[in-house]
Amino acid sequence: MSAPKYIVVDLETTGSSSAKGGRIIQLAMVTIEEGVVTDTYTAFINPEQNIPVFIQELTNITNEDVASALPFEQHAQVVSARLEDAVFVAHNADFDLGFLNAELKRAGLMPWQGLVVDTVELARLVYPTAYSYKLQDIAAELGILLKQAHRADDDALATAELFLSAKKQLASLPADTLRLLHKRSFSLKSDLSHLLFELISDKHTAGKDDQLRFRGIPIAVPEEMKAVWPNRYTPAAEPVQQLQTIMPGFEYRENQARLMKTIQQALDGKQEIVIEASTGMGKTIGYLLPAAEYALTEGKQVIISTYTTHLQEQLLQNEGKMLSEFLNAPISLALIKGMNHYIDLMRLYEQLQSEDESYDETFTLMQVLVWLSATQTGDLTELNTSGGGQLVIDKIRRSHLRKPAAPELKLDFYERARKRADQAHIIITNHAFLLGGGLGERQAALIIDEAHQMIQSALAKKEKTFVYTNWKYIFGQLGTLDDRQLFYHFSEVATEARFASAAELSRLEFLYSKTAGLFDEISSRLADSFARSVPNRRQKKWALLLDSLGRQEQAVRHLLKLLNEWLDLSRELLSRADRLTELEVRKQAILNDWRYWTEEIAAETIALGDIFAFPGRDDVSWVEGDLRSLPNSLAIYQRPFDVARPVSRVLEPVRRHEAVIHLSGTMSVPTDERFIIRQLGIRDEVPLIKFDPEPEFYAGARVFVVEDMPDIQQVPQAEYIESVADAVIQTVLVTEGRCFVLFTSQDMLRKTVELIQDSGLLEDYMLFAQGLSSGSRMRLLKSFQRFSKSVLFGTNSFWEGVDVPGDALRAVVVVRLPFTSPDEPVFKARSERISAEGKNPFLEYALPEAVIRLRQGFGRLIRSREDHGLFIVLDRRIETKSYGKEFLRALPPVPVAKVSLEKMVTSIEDWYNGNA
């Protein structure tokens, strides 16, 4: 079978639509035959109109570049001839083909018709773990040369290389994987089915692959890991100095050497200590080396817990790799997360039996099949799936509801992770898994990195959530017989297979209808109470304590009674169905769906009961909603007041036998050194050991307090926002971008960004705003780093845990001191409790929390001694209020200038020009 000819096309245009007057300004076509590029055709096109300024900046194509070029009509015949009998390939093919066909038609030619391969869809399938599928991102990840993005000639060549790379990767997949992909490929947006068929045909002569199989699904062979525990190991005498031999560019730091010695002594003495280690002293290496040496010398495991799964992976991929080389002994590290991070292969197999899927569901299953041929972890967070595919991902997660049968266990990824953890010298986990008791009572020393985040992790672990729209979606999946939804199909299967009587099915439907009606009544009453209780109807979004709205305990208990009866009956029928020995694949898929939604309803029922009917003595419950969309916007939450007890419960078994080391860059504030330590339930006698930064570390930092800003408590918010917008604009212009602007309110962020956009003064800059720009926090951060002239506006989550090294971040602007709003429900409830104890909630709680947050905000700025940056505070309370000095005291020893906005701009200019 001869391979088809592929033509890769890329266009640059004056606008997004030919129908709206957009025209082509550059065209590139790359021909691929027999797997190699054989020809290229590229030309500037005269659009016979001015190119918008934005397009000129994006493409670097000017009006002068196209002034002497031919119009598209003069190229149309050549373009049409080149496309004849070829497969059309493009990155985001809908745009290029749609635009090209419109121009061909305008030139009096027939629109092109034929097979299409969209390399966005192809890359998403073949590289399911890639960070981004924008051409410049995926090209960079694969090492494909892209000289200048948004130039048709360079983009087309990069797209051709991407296509060839993806095709080669597809060809390397097992034949069984290709067949499973081909079966589902006919509903894709582009003609990948033809490409897959071509590759399957070529596989006929290939030998057997080395992949394992789970019910016909190919799975990568796991890499074996077995820790070697030496009989005798002698640690290095001067470990920090020796690091220079294996880590290029490593600098000896006295503080790091002291940190290592402190940790080593704590491990040897089985002590509990708290360490506050400032940014830039090499904290990660500082605990990894002593941990590894302790494991080897004592023959005992060490557990390292980090805040996020992302930090876990960084440890494994980066610093962990050099341990064996440095120690001159094999050292094994194993990563383990919560069970629901891992794939359940049986659930995947069951999902593959279904044929009634949306595009997103089909495509996600195809991504999973490709991923399984390579993944060593089975960790579903590796996948980059669409929002619509997330439902499939949730359906194939491992859970406590189903334990794999004995034959499946050797292939089960969660069991593999546990086995690796059992064998490893060092176990890397995250706070959530640690707090959930996932590691049991191992006789292992414990190092907790980012220890202050144990508070947030414990709060999140204990939080109960009940969201109105989520419930309506879940409960709405079932329906009644008249709806002909899932219950209708479940009833058919139950009747035909004879595991449910007509009376039982009728009872199930009755309970469902009664539950739906009663839930709507309760929700309506809650929405009415919420609307009546808001203090100010001009503000649309509110959070109110549940007790102030009424818990409707009697009605909720009746609702729970109905739900539990429905759940008991549904589970009984499923239990009977499980005893059936033979069932058609289609019917089994229906039962699997019913089981999944039954357990989803069970989880919602537990949350509903915990929040409304059985609140804990130390819990606070609140309702969030938007007056413009009640009851749809209602969301109900419950959290504990503090987490000292649940944290202590997890740590106590370790304390009895091994060392517990709490590490963080932020464990104290000047006014209360044990503010965080107390919240974690750590005993008073546990020492706090501080490692201050070396004097020259912050030499490149400056702090400015802008004195002529209006007092935020004395002027209307609109006036303050105008001043903020002006200060941000002037700061951005003088620093030429690379700024974080940190807010405490999403509303103020939105209004400031809108004002800046309306001014047009920063139209040359890329503005990324949390909650306004699309994408996750990490995606926004990546976008911010990609452009030199960029500004990122962020709220709470950007105050900490964001690392932007070097010149990528030049300034952090603090719009308001980061106090929690006094109306925030948990803050309000905790403050009331502190007051009841006869203490001052502002001094005991509000101030220390805000000081810590400001300190964390400063920590975004200087990550190494080579960094230079500005920390600009616009909130005058830092100098006018008596408590303001506590914020300044908490910052590192950096020069603080209290100046007018004009003087600040001049000072920054002088600083950049070397005059300061």
Backbone angles phi, psi at 744, to 5 degrees: -110, -5
Closest by alpha carbon to 572, among 589, 556, 603, 594? 594
- Rounded distance, CA 17 to CA 23, Å? 8
91, 150, 431, 662: which one is catalytic? 150
The answer on whether 320 is annotated among ligand-binding residues is no
Classify residue 332 as left (phi > 0), alpha (psi -120 to 50) or beta. Answer: beta
Closest by alpha carbon to 809, among 898, 871, 865, 765? 871
The answer on whether 279 is annotated among ligand-binding residues is yes
Q: Which two tokens stand for residue 351?
A: 């999902």
Closest by alpha carbon to 287, among 449, 439, 430, 433? 449
Rg of the chain over Cα atoms, rounded to whole angstroms, equals 31
The answer on whether 280 is annotated among ligand-binding residues is yes
- Rounded distance, CA 193 to CA 462, Å? 47
Element (H, E) at 767: strand 766-769
Contact 401, 599 (CB under 8 A): yes
Across the strands, what pairs with 899? 706
DSSP state of 557: H
The answer on whether 283 is annotated among ligand-binding residues is yes
- Rounded distance, CA 372 to CA 450, Å? 32
Other beta carbons within 10 angstroms of residue 859's beta carbon come to 22
> Is 182 annotated as catalytic?
no
- Rounded distance, CA 283 to CA 257, Å? 10
Contacts of residue 114, Cβ cutoff 8 Å, sequence gap at least 6: 83, 85, 86, 87, 88
Contact 740, 798 (CB under 8 A): yes
Contacts of residue 878, Cβ cutoff 8 Å, sequence gap at least 6: 705, 817, 884, 887, 888
The answer on whether 1 is annotated among ligand-binding residues is no
- Rounded distance, CA 771 to CA 794, Å? 8
Question: Is the peptide bond prior to 239 cis by the omega test (within 30 degrees of 0)?
Answer: no
Q: Which two tokens stand for residue 215?
A: 């019910």
Q: Which two tokens stand for residue 577?
A: 């169905």
**Known binding residues for ATP:** 277-284
**Known binding residues:** 277-284
| Active site positions, annotated | 150
